[in-house]
Amino acid sequence: MKLLVIDDDRSVRQLLRTALVAAGYDVLTAADGEEGLALTRIARPALVLTDILMPRMDGFQYLNVIRSDRDFDALPVVFYTGNYLDQEDELLARRLGVSRFLIKPMSPAEIVAVIRDVLEHPAVSPQADPPVTLGDPDLQALYSESLVAKLKHKVVENEEARRTLEHIMEGIGDGIMVIDHEYTIIQTNSVMASMYGLDKSAVVGRKCYELARHQQAPCEDPSIICPHRAIFEHGAPSARAIHTYFNAAGDKHQIEIIATPLKDDTGLVFAIVETCREVVDVSREDELVKLVKQLSEAQAHLTLMATTDELTGLKNRRHIRERLAEEIQRSKRTGDHLGLIMLDIDHFKLINDSHGHLFGDVVLKVVASRIRTSLRMNDYVGRVGGEEFLVICLDSSLADALHVAEKIRRGICELPMGDGIREVMVAVSAGVTTIQDNDHDYVDAVRRADVALYRAKEAGRNRVVAA
Protein backbone atom coordinates (compact mmCIF):
# COMPACT_ATOMS: atom_id res chain seq x y z
CA MET A 1 0.00 0.00 0.00
CA LYS A 2 1.39 3.38 -1.03
CA LEU A 3 1.64 6.31 1.42
CA LEU A 4 2.85 9.88 0.94
CA VAL A 5 4.82 11.84 3.58
CA ILE A 6 5.04 15.64 3.19
CA ASP A 7 7.42 17.60 5.43
CA ASP A 8 9.99 20.32 4.79
CA ASP A 9 12.30 18.83 7.43
CA ARG A 10 14.42 16.14 5.75
CA SER A 11 15.14 14.36 9.05
CA VAL A 12 11.41 14.09 9.81
CA ARG A 13 10.76 12.70 6.32
CA GLN A 14 13.50 10.15 6.85
CA LEU A 15 12.17 9.14 10.27
CA LEU A 16 8.61 8.70 9.03
CA ARG A 17 9.65 6.86 5.89
CA THR A 18 11.84 4.44 7.87
CA ALA A 19 9.05 3.69 10.34
CA LEU A 20 6.39 3.18 7.67
CA VAL A 21 8.59 1.11 5.34
CA ALA A 22 9.44 -1.15 8.28
CA ALA A 23 5.68 -1.58 8.78
CA GLY A 24 5.32 -2.83 5.21
CA TYR A 25 4.18 0.32 3.41
CA ASP A 26 5.50 1.74 0.14
CA VAL A 27 6.41 5.34 1.02
CA LEU A 28 6.89 8.41 -1.17
CA THR A 29 8.17 11.71 0.24
CA ALA A 30 7.80 15.39 -0.67
CA ALA A 31 9.39 18.54 0.77
CA ASP A 32 6.30 20.79 0.64
CA GLY A 33 2.64 20.82 -0.26
CA GLU A 34 3.22 21.79 -3.88
CA GLU A 35 5.52 18.84 -4.50
CA GLY A 36 3.17 16.65 -2.47
CA LEU A 37 0.19 17.69 -4.59
CA ALA A 38 2.00 16.71 -7.79
CA LEU A 39 2.94 13.33 -6.31
CA THR A 40 -0.62 12.79 -5.08
CA ARG A 41 -1.99 13.21 -8.58
CA ILE A 42 0.65 10.97 -10.15
CA ALA A 43 1.03 8.20 -7.56
CA ARG A 44 -2.49 8.27 -6.02
CA PRO A 45 -1.46 7.23 -2.48
CA ALA A 46 -3.85 5.51 -0.06
CA LEU A 47 -3.07 8.06 2.69
CA VAL A 48 -1.15 11.31 3.10
CA LEU A 49 0.77 12.27 6.27
CA THR A 50 1.67 15.96 6.15
CA ASP A 51 3.21 18.74 8.21
CA ILE A 52 1.31 22.05 8.47
CA LEU A 53 3.85 24.89 8.27
CA MET A 54 5.87 24.50 5.03
CA PRO A 55 7.17 26.74 2.22
CA ARG A 56 5.34 27.30 -1.09
CA MET A 57 2.19 25.37 -0.07
CA ASP A 58 1.40 24.58 3.58
CA GLY A 59 -0.67 21.73 4.98
CA PHE A 60 -3.92 23.71 5.09
CA GLN A 61 -3.54 24.79 1.45
CA TYR A 62 -2.73 21.23 0.38
CA LEU A 63 -5.79 19.89 2.22
CA ASN A 64 -7.97 22.59 0.67
CA VAL A 65 -6.92 21.66 -2.88
CA ILE A 66 -7.31 17.92 -2.25
CA ARG A 67 -10.79 18.26 -0.79
CA SER A 68 -11.82 20.38 -3.80
CA ASP A 69 -10.83 17.62 -6.23
CA ARG A 70 -13.44 14.90 -6.82
CA ASP A 71 -10.72 12.30 -7.38
CA PHE A 72 -9.25 12.89 -3.90
CA ASP A 73 -12.05 14.33 -1.79
CA ALA A 74 -12.14 11.10 0.27
CA LEU A 75 -8.35 10.64 0.49
CA PRO A 76 -7.31 10.26 4.16
CA VAL A 77 -5.05 13.18 5.16
CA VAL A 78 -3.33 13.15 8.56
CA PHE A 79 -1.68 16.24 10.03
CA TYR A 80 1.65 15.56 11.79
CA THR A 81 2.81 18.78 13.39
CA GLY A 82 4.83 20.25 16.25
CA ASN A 83 3.62 22.79 18.79
CA TYR A 84 1.61 24.76 16.24
CA LEU A 85 -1.80 23.17 16.78
CA ASP A 86 -4.13 25.36 18.81
CA GLN A 87 -7.92 25.48 18.99
CA GLU A 88 -8.24 27.67 15.89
CA ASP A 89 -5.97 25.32 13.93
CA GLU A 90 -8.02 22.33 14.92
CA LEU A 91 -11.27 24.06 13.96
CA LEU A 92 -9.83 25.10 10.59
CA ALA A 93 -8.44 21.63 9.85
CA ARG A 94 -11.71 19.90 10.75
CA ARG A 95 -13.71 22.32 8.59
CA LEU A 96 -11.39 21.54 5.66
CA GLY A 97 -11.77 17.79 6.23
CA VAL A 98 -8.63 16.48 7.96
CA SER A 99 -8.72 12.81 8.96
CA ARG A 100 -6.59 12.88 12.11
CA PHE A 101 -4.04 14.92 14.09
CA LEU A 102 -0.64 13.69 15.26
CA ILE A 103 1.52 15.86 17.51
CA LYS A 104 5.33 15.69 17.26
CA PRO A 105 7.18 13.88 18.65
CA MET A 106 5.57 10.42 18.57
CA SER A 107 7.19 7.02 18.69
CA PRO A 108 7.33 5.08 15.39
CA ALA A 109 5.00 2.43 16.87
CA GLU A 110 2.40 5.07 17.76
CA ILE A 111 2.60 6.62 14.28
CA VAL A 112 2.14 3.26 12.56
CA ALA A 113 -0.79 2.39 14.84
CA VAL A 114 -2.60 5.63 13.97
CA ILE A 115 -1.95 5.20 10.26
CA ARG A 116 -3.37 1.68 10.33
CA ASP A 117 -6.42 2.88 12.23
CA VAL A 118 -7.08 5.69 9.75
CA LEU A 119 -6.70 3.30 6.80
CA GLU A 120 -9.20 0.92 8.40
CA HIS A 121 -11.60 3.77 9.26
CA PRO A 122 -10.89 6.40 6.58
CA ALA A 123 -13.70 8.85 7.43
CA VAL A 124 -12.50 12.41 8.11
CA SER A 125 -12.64 13.93 11.59
CA PRO A 126 -16.12 14.46 13.06
CA GLN A 127 -17.67 17.79 12.07
CA ALA A 128 -21.09 19.34 11.98
CA ASP A 129 -21.02 20.32 8.31
CA PRO A 130 -19.50 18.92 5.11
CA PRO A 131 -15.94 20.11 4.32
CA VAL A 132 -15.68 23.69 3.04
CA THR A 133 -12.86 25.51 1.22
CA LEU A 134 -10.55 28.38 2.06
CA GLY A 135 -12.63 30.48 -0.32
CA ASP A 136 -15.20 30.83 2.47
CA PRO A 137 -14.64 34.35 3.96
CA ASP A 138 -14.86 33.22 7.60
CA LEU A 139 -12.51 30.32 6.97
CA GLN A 140 -10.09 32.55 5.05
CA ALA A 141 -9.93 34.95 8.00
CA LEU A 142 -9.33 32.06 10.39
CA TYR A 143 -6.58 30.69 8.13
CA SER A 144 -4.85 34.08 7.89
CA GLU A 145 -4.89 34.56 11.67
CA SER A 146 -3.54 31.04 12.19
CA LEU A 147 -0.74 31.48 9.64
CA VAL A 148 0.39 34.79 11.11
CA ALA A 149 0.49 33.28 14.61
CA LYS A 150 2.57 30.33 13.37
CA LEU A 151 5.05 32.53 11.56
CA LYS A 152 5.53 34.70 14.65
CA HIS A 153 6.15 31.59 16.72
CA LYS A 154 8.67 30.29 14.17
CA VAL A 155 10.51 33.60 14.11
CA VAL A 156 10.79 33.53 17.92
CA GLU A 157 12.13 29.94 17.81
CA ASN A 158 14.73 30.83 15.18
CA GLU A 159 15.83 33.93 17.08
CA GLU A 160 16.25 31.90 20.27
CA ALA A 161 18.35 29.32 18.40
CA ARG A 162 20.48 32.09 16.87
CA ARG A 163 21.11 33.69 20.28
CA THR A 164 22.05 30.33 21.81
CA LEU A 165 24.59 29.71 19.05
CA GLU A 166 25.98 33.23 19.46
CA HIS A 167 26.45 32.75 23.21
CA ILE A 168 28.28 29.47 22.64
CA MET A 169 30.61 31.01 20.04
CA GLU A 170 31.34 34.03 22.25
CA GLY A 171 32.30 31.73 25.11
CA ILE A 172 35.05 30.07 23.06
CA GLY A 173 38.48 31.62 23.53
CA ASP A 174 39.62 31.00 19.93
CA GLY A 175 38.45 32.79 16.83
CA ILE A 176 35.53 31.04 15.11
CA MET A 177 34.21 31.47 11.57
CA VAL A 178 31.46 29.59 9.74
CA ILE A 179 32.03 29.73 5.97
CA ASP A 180 29.63 28.49 3.30
CA HIS A 181 30.21 26.87 -0.08
CA GLU A 182 30.68 30.25 -1.77
CA TYR A 183 33.50 31.32 0.62
CA THR A 184 31.08 33.69 2.42
CA ILE A 185 31.48 34.14 6.19
CA ILE A 186 28.01 33.53 7.61
CA GLN A 187 28.84 33.60 11.33
CA THR A 188 31.78 34.61 13.53
CA ASN A 189 32.65 35.59 17.09
CA SER A 190 34.25 38.65 18.69
CA VAL A 191 37.68 36.98 19.06
CA MET A 192 37.85 36.33 15.33
CA ALA A 193 36.67 39.83 14.46
CA SER A 194 39.25 41.36 16.80
CA MET A 195 42.04 39.51 14.96
CA TYR A 196 41.11 41.58 11.92
CA GLY A 197 40.60 44.74 13.99
CA LEU A 198 36.93 44.85 12.99
CA ASP A 199 33.45 44.53 14.51
CA LYS A 200 31.56 41.27 13.92
CA SER A 201 29.09 43.11 11.69
CA ALA A 202 31.96 44.09 9.39
CA VAL A 203 33.09 40.46 9.06
CA VAL A 204 29.83 38.60 8.42
CA GLY A 205 28.90 38.60 4.74
CA ARG A 206 32.47 39.10 3.49
CA LYS A 207 34.42 36.56 1.46
CA CYS A 208 37.10 34.88 3.57
CA TYR A 209 39.82 35.41 0.93
CA GLU A 210 38.89 39.09 0.62
CA LEU A 211 39.05 39.63 4.37
CA ALA A 212 42.13 37.58 5.23
CA ARG A 213 44.33 37.99 2.17
CA HIS A 214 42.93 41.15 0.50
CA GLN A 215 42.26 39.18 -2.72
CA GLN A 216 39.36 39.37 -5.15
CA ALA A 217 39.18 35.63 -5.80
CA PRO A 218 39.97 32.35 -4.01
CA CYS A 219 43.67 31.60 -3.79
CA GLU A 220 44.95 29.26 -6.51
CA ASP A 221 48.54 29.10 -5.22
CA PRO A 222 49.24 25.36 -4.67
CA SER A 223 51.75 26.23 -1.94
CA ILE A 224 48.95 27.70 0.21
CA ILE A 225 46.71 25.14 1.88
CA CYS A 226 43.06 26.13 1.60
CA PRO A 227 40.90 24.34 4.21
CA HIS A 228 37.80 25.32 2.22
CA ARG A 229 38.97 23.46 -0.89
CA ALA A 230 40.30 20.53 1.13
CA ILE A 231 36.84 19.87 2.60
CA PHE A 232 34.42 20.99 -0.13
CA GLU A 233 36.35 19.81 -3.21
CA HIS A 234 38.47 16.94 -1.91
CA GLY A 235 36.19 15.55 0.81
CA ALA A 236 38.72 15.77 3.65
CA PRO A 237 37.21 14.99 7.09
CA SER A 238 39.17 17.96 8.50
CA ALA A 239 41.94 20.32 7.49
CA ARG A 240 44.76 22.06 9.32
CA ALA A 241 46.95 24.91 8.07
CA ILE A 242 49.10 27.89 9.02
CA HIS A 243 47.94 31.05 7.21
CA THR A 244 49.32 34.54 6.97
CA TYR A 245 46.58 37.18 7.26
CA PHE A 246 46.36 40.95 7.33
CA ASN A 247 44.38 42.96 9.88
CA ALA A 248 42.54 46.23 9.17
CA ALA A 249 45.75 48.21 9.70
CA GLY A 250 47.61 46.08 7.16
CA ASP A 251 49.77 44.32 9.74
CA LYS A 252 50.80 40.78 8.90
CA HIS A 253 50.12 37.95 11.37
CA GLN A 254 50.01 34.16 11.34
CA ILE A 255 47.22 31.93 12.61
CA GLU A 256 46.74 28.22 12.93
CA ILE A 257 43.45 27.10 11.33
CA ILE A 258 41.63 23.87 12.11
CA ALA A 259 38.61 23.37 9.83
CA THR A 260 35.82 20.80 10.12
CA PRO A 261 32.73 20.28 7.94
CA LEU A 262 29.12 21.06 8.85
CA LYS A 263 26.79 18.46 7.35
CA ASP A 264 23.04 18.37 6.82
CA ASP A 265 20.78 15.46 7.78
CA THR A 266 21.82 13.54 4.67
CA GLY A 267 25.55 13.90 5.29
CA LEU A 268 26.20 16.58 2.66
CA VAL A 269 28.58 19.40 3.62
CA PHE A 270 26.92 22.84 3.53
CA ALA A 271 29.54 24.87 5.45
CA ILE A 272 32.81 24.60 7.35
CA VAL A 273 33.77 25.77 10.83
CA GLU A 274 37.23 27.28 11.13
CA THR A 275 38.82 27.55 14.58
CA CYS A 276 41.62 30.10 14.44
CA ARG A 277 44.40 30.87 16.91
CA GLU A 278 47.25 33.33 16.51
CA VAL A 279 50.40 31.28 17.03
CA VAL A 280 53.39 33.52 16.36
CA ASP A 281 54.33 36.87 14.88
CA VAL A 282 55.54 36.58 11.30
CA SER A 283 58.94 37.97 12.24
CA ARG A 284 59.43 35.14 14.74
CA GLU A 285 58.42 32.22 12.55
CA ASP A 286 60.16 29.21 14.06
CA GLU A 287 60.74 25.60 13.10
CA LEU A 288 57.43 24.46 14.58
CA VAL A 289 55.48 26.79 12.32
CA LYS A 290 57.50 25.63 9.31
CA LEU A 291 56.85 21.99 10.24
CA VAL A 292 53.09 22.53 10.54
CA LYS A 293 53.10 24.24 7.15
CA GLN A 294 54.99 21.35 5.58
CA LEU A 295 52.66 18.78 7.13
CA SER A 296 49.59 20.72 5.95
CA GLU A 297 50.98 20.94 2.43
CA ALA A 298 51.78 17.22 2.40
CA GLN A 299 48.34 16.33 3.72
CA ALA A 300 46.59 18.42 1.08
CA HIS A 301 48.78 17.01 -1.69
CA LEU A 302 48.17 13.41 -0.62
CA THR A 303 44.41 14.02 -0.42
CA LEU A 304 44.47 15.52 -3.89
CA MET A 305 46.47 12.63 -5.34
CA ALA A 306 44.21 10.03 -3.70
CA THR A 307 40.97 11.47 -5.09
CA THR A 308 41.87 13.17 -8.40
CA ASP A 309 42.53 11.93 -11.93
CA GLU A 310 45.91 13.42 -12.84
CA LEU A 311 45.16 14.09 -16.51
CA THR A 312 41.68 15.65 -16.38
CA GLY A 313 41.52 17.02 -12.84
CA LEU A 314 38.23 15.19 -12.29
CA LYS A 315 37.60 12.79 -9.42
CA ASN A 316 39.24 9.44 -10.07
CA ARG A 317 37.55 6.07 -10.47
CA ARG A 318 38.01 5.01 -6.83
CA HIS A 319 36.71 8.26 -5.35
CA ILE A 320 33.67 8.68 -7.62
CA ARG A 321 32.57 5.08 -7.03
CA GLU A 322 32.96 5.49 -3.27
CA ARG A 323 30.87 8.64 -3.51
CA LEU A 324 28.25 6.79 -5.56
CA ALA A 325 28.04 4.03 -2.94
CA GLU A 326 27.54 6.67 -0.22
CA GLU A 327 24.86 8.52 -2.22
CA ILE A 328 22.98 5.28 -2.93
CA GLN A 329 22.82 4.52 0.80
CA ARG A 330 21.66 8.07 1.48
CA SER A 331 19.03 7.78 -1.24
CA LYS A 332 17.68 4.56 0.24
CA ARG A 333 17.47 6.18 3.71
CA THR A 334 15.76 9.39 2.59
CA GLY A 335 13.77 8.23 -0.41
CA ASP A 336 15.31 10.96 -2.58
CA HIS A 337 15.88 10.27 -6.26
CA LEU A 338 19.41 9.69 -7.55
CA GLY A 339 20.41 9.83 -11.22
CA LEU A 340 23.41 8.20 -12.87
CA ILE A 341 25.02 8.96 -16.26
CA MET A 342 27.68 6.88 -18.00
CA LEU A 343 29.48 8.76 -20.80
CA ASP A 344 31.85 7.40 -23.43
CA ILE A 345 33.70 9.35 -26.14
CA ASP A 346 32.67 8.07 -29.57
CA HIS A 347 35.47 6.71 -31.83
CA PHE A 348 38.15 7.76 -29.34
CA LYS A 349 40.50 4.99 -30.54
CA LEU A 350 40.33 6.46 -34.03
CA ILE A 351 41.33 9.87 -32.64
CA ASN A 352 44.33 8.32 -30.88
CA ASP A 353 45.34 6.28 -33.94
CA SER A 354 45.00 9.24 -36.32
CA HIS A 355 46.51 12.04 -34.24
CA GLY A 356 48.53 10.36 -31.51
CA HIS A 357 48.07 9.84 -27.79
CA LEU A 358 49.22 13.34 -26.84
CA PHE A 359 46.41 14.82 -28.92
CA GLY A 360 44.08 12.23 -27.38
CA ASP A 361 45.05 13.58 -23.95
CA VAL A 362 44.08 17.08 -25.13
CA VAL A 363 40.67 15.77 -26.18
CA LEU A 364 40.17 14.09 -22.79
CA LYS A 365 41.00 17.35 -20.98
CA VAL A 366 38.61 19.39 -23.13
CA VAL A 367 35.82 16.82 -22.77
CA ALA A 368 36.31 16.85 -18.99
CA SER A 369 36.15 20.65 -18.93
CA ARG A 370 32.95 20.75 -21.01
CA ILE A 371 31.32 18.12 -18.80
CA ARG A 372 32.13 20.24 -15.73
CA THR A 373 30.60 23.38 -17.23
CA SER A 374 27.40 21.49 -18.08
CA LEU A 375 26.77 20.21 -14.55
CA ARG A 376 24.56 21.69 -11.86
CA MET A 377 25.91 22.69 -8.45
CA ASN A 378 25.13 19.35 -6.76
CA ASP A 379 26.28 17.04 -9.58
CA TYR A 380 29.54 15.04 -9.36
CA VAL A 381 31.69 13.72 -12.17
CA GLY A 382 34.67 11.39 -12.32
CA ARG A 383 36.78 9.65 -14.94
CA VAL A 384 36.27 5.89 -14.58
CA GLY A 385 38.10 4.57 -17.64
CA GLY A 386 40.23 5.61 -20.60
CA GLU A 387 37.45 7.60 -22.28
CA GLU A 388 34.60 6.86 -19.85
CA PHE A 389 33.09 9.29 -17.35
CA LEU A 390 30.53 8.81 -14.58
CA VAL A 391 28.16 11.58 -13.45
CA ILE A 392 26.13 11.42 -10.22
CA CYS A 393 22.99 13.59 -10.22
CA LEU A 394 21.73 14.19 -6.68
CA ASP A 395 17.99 14.57 -5.99
CA SER A 396 17.30 13.89 -9.67
CA SER A 397 14.54 11.95 -11.40
CA LEU A 398 15.18 10.12 -14.66
CA ALA A 399 13.89 13.17 -16.56
CA ASP A 400 16.31 15.42 -14.64
CA ALA A 401 19.28 13.15 -15.34
CA LEU A 402 18.34 12.87 -19.03
CA HIS A 403 18.28 16.66 -19.24
CA VAL A 404 21.78 16.89 -17.74
CA ALA A 405 23.10 14.17 -20.08
CA GLU A 406 21.67 15.90 -23.15
CA LYS A 407 23.18 19.21 -22.06
CA ILE A 408 26.58 17.50 -21.73
CA ARG A 409 26.22 15.84 -25.14
CA ARG A 410 25.38 19.11 -26.88
CA GLY A 411 28.14 21.00 -25.09
CA ILE A 412 30.74 18.50 -26.32
CA CYS A 413 29.67 17.97 -29.93
CA GLU A 414 28.72 21.51 -31.00
CA LEU A 415 32.25 22.97 -31.10
CA PRO A 416 35.54 21.47 -32.36
CA MET A 417 38.43 20.57 -30.06
CA GLY A 418 42.07 21.13 -30.85
CA ASP A 419 45.61 21.83 -29.71
CA GLY A 420 46.18 24.98 -31.80
CA ILE A 421 47.46 22.99 -34.76
CA ARG A 422 44.59 20.70 -35.66
CA GLU A 423 40.95 20.35 -34.71
CA VAL A 424 38.47 17.49 -34.56
CA MET A 425 34.78 17.20 -33.91
CA VAL A 426 34.08 14.98 -30.92
CA ALA A 427 30.85 13.35 -29.77
CA VAL A 428 29.80 11.26 -26.78
CA SER A 429 27.17 8.64 -26.10
CA ALA A 430 25.40 8.44 -22.74
CA GLY A 431 23.47 5.84 -20.78
CA VAL A 432 21.19 7.19 -18.06
CA THR A 433 19.43 5.47 -15.16
CA THR A 434 18.21 6.11 -11.63
CA ILE A 435 18.70 4.14 -8.46
CA GLN A 436 16.06 1.42 -7.96
CA ASP A 437 14.75 -0.06 -4.70
CA ASN A 438 16.15 -3.49 -5.58
CA ASP A 439 19.70 -2.24 -6.29
CA HIS A 440 22.00 -4.05 -3.86
CA ASP A 441 24.90 -1.65 -4.41
CA TYR A 442 26.37 0.72 -6.98
CA VAL A 443 27.35 -2.19 -9.23
CA ASP A 444 23.70 -2.83 -10.18
CA ALA A 445 23.15 0.81 -11.12
CA VAL A 446 26.41 1.10 -13.07
CA ARG A 447 25.64 -2.11 -14.96
CA ARG A 448 22.21 -0.73 -15.93
CA ALA A 449 23.74 2.55 -17.12
CA ASP A 450 26.36 0.58 -19.11
CA VAL A 451 23.59 -1.35 -20.87
CA ALA A 452 21.90 1.93 -21.83
CA LEU A 453 25.25 3.29 -23.04
CA TYR A 454 25.75 0.18 -25.21
CA ARG A 455 22.30 0.73 -26.73
CA ALA A 456 23.23 4.34 -27.51
CA LYS A 457 26.33 3.10 -29.34
CA GLU A 458 24.33 0.51 -31.29
CA ALA A 459 21.74 3.13 -32.28
CA GLY A 460 24.37 5.25 -34.02
CA ARG A 461 26.30 7.05 -31.25
CA ASN A 462 26.16 10.74 -30.30
CA ARG A 463 22.92 10.23 -28.38
CA VAL A 464 21.44 9.72 -24.91
CA VAL A 465 19.54 6.54 -23.99
CA ALA A 466 17.70 5.78 -20.76
CA ALA A 467 17.64 2.42 -19.00
Reported as a single tens digit per residue, the pLDDT across 31-41 is 888 999 999 99
Q: Is 208 exposed, middle or buried (0-12, 13-18, 19+ CB in 10 A)?
A: buried
Quote the DSSP letter at residue 70: T
pLDDT at residue 286 is higher than 80: no
E-only strand ranges, 346-387 = 379-383
pLDDT-derived band at 247 (thresholds 50, 70, 90) equals low
Quote the pLDDT of residue 335: 84
Residue predicted with more confidence, 60 or 93: 60
Residues 222, 321 share a domain: no
Quote the pLDDT of residue 349: 94
What SS3 string covers 222-283? CCCCCHHHHHHCCCCCCEEEEEEEECCCCCEEEEEEEEEEEECCCCCEEEEEEEEEEEEEHH
Share of the chain above pLDDT 90, in %: 32
Domain membership of residue 161 (yes or no) is no
Residues 329, 256 share a domain: no
pLDDT-derived band at 288 (thresholds 50, 70, 90) equals low
Quote the pLDDT of residue 126: 41
Residue 123's domain comprises 2-151
Quote the pLDDT of residue 353: 93
pLDDT at residue 159 is higher than 80: no
Strand partners for 315: 308, 382
- Mean pLDDT calculated for residue range 384-402: 94
Average pLDDT, the chain: 82
Residues 176, 141 share a domain: no
Residues 86-121 have pLDDT tens digits of: 556 677 777 788 888 887 767 788 889 989 999 987
pLDDT-derived band at 266 (thresholds 50, 70, 90) equals low
Quote the pLDDT of residue 387: 95
Residues 284, 189 share a domain: yes
* 177 contacts 192 by C-beta, under 8 angstroms: yes
Cα separation, 363 vs 385, whole angstroms: 14
Quote the pLDDT of residue 394: 92
Quote the pLDDT of residue 430: 97
Quote the pLDDT of residue 122: 66
Measured in degrees and rounded to the nearest 5, phi and psi for residue 74 equal -105, 5
Quote the pLDDT of residue 55: 79
Share of the chain above pLDDT 70, in %: 80
- Mean pLDDT calculated for residue range 364-374: 93
Last residue of a domain, one of 248, 274, 307: 307
Domain count, the chain: 3
Residues 125, 41 share a domain: yes
Last residue of a domain, one of 285, 307, 329: 307
Residues 296, 427 share a domain: no
Q: 15 Cβ partners below 8 Å, 6+ apart?
A: 108
pLDDT at residue 172 is higher than 90: no
pLDDT at residue 241 is higher than 70: yes
Quote the pLDDT of residue 240: 84
Residues 267, 334 share a domain: no
Residues 147, 33 share a domain: yes
Residue predicted with more confidence, 293 or 201: 201
Domain membership of residue 442 (yes or no) is yes
Residues 108-157 have pLDDT tens digits of: 888 899 899 999 876 544 443 445 555 555 555 555 555 555 555 555 55
Cα separation, 161 vs 168, whole angstroms: 11
49: left (phi over 0), alpha (psi -120 to 50) or beta: beta
Domain membership of residue 159 (yes or no) is no
Question: What pTM did the predictor assign?
Answer: 0.45
Residues 286, 336 share a domain: no
pLDDT at residue 197 is higher than 90: no
Residues 332, 226 share a domain: no
pLDDT at residue 211 is higher than 70: yes
